[in-house]
Structure 1
């Protein structure tokens, strides 16, 4: 049987509604936490989850 783990929220540390297995690969996955109501963009590979930080948008000058 494959080893599985719950995806944890990076903000509050609570369990989300998603689980991943050892062979799961996520790219640009929108992870939503029902406890703190935040959404994060994450990547996962080999049960290692990393949060993707999106660059701030720059204001265009005229």
Structure 2
């Protein structure tokens, strides 16, 4: 049986709505967190998720 894990938000640490399996590979994947409403670019391989780019704060004029 394939092992699966929930992808956690790199900003707040909560579970997102996505799961990955051992054989899942993601590259430059835009991960959105419904809890903190932030988006991060991630990469995943062998159940290891790494952040490519963290979200920047938006400047208001």
The answer to whether 1:50 aligns with 2:50 is yes
DSSP 3-state at the match of 1:23: coil
- Alignment root-mean-square deviation, CA: 1.1
Tell me the number of residue pairs that the alignment of Structure 1 and Structure 2 aligns.
Answer: 54
> Unpaired runs of 5+ in structure 2?
55-61
User: TM (normalized to structure 2)?
Assistant: 0.85
> Unpaired runs of 5+ in structure 1?
55-62
Runs of 4 or more above 6 Å deviation: none
Cα displacement (A) at 1:35: 0.2
1:22 maps to what in 2? 22
Structure 1 or 2: more strand by fraction: 2
Higher-Rg structure is 1
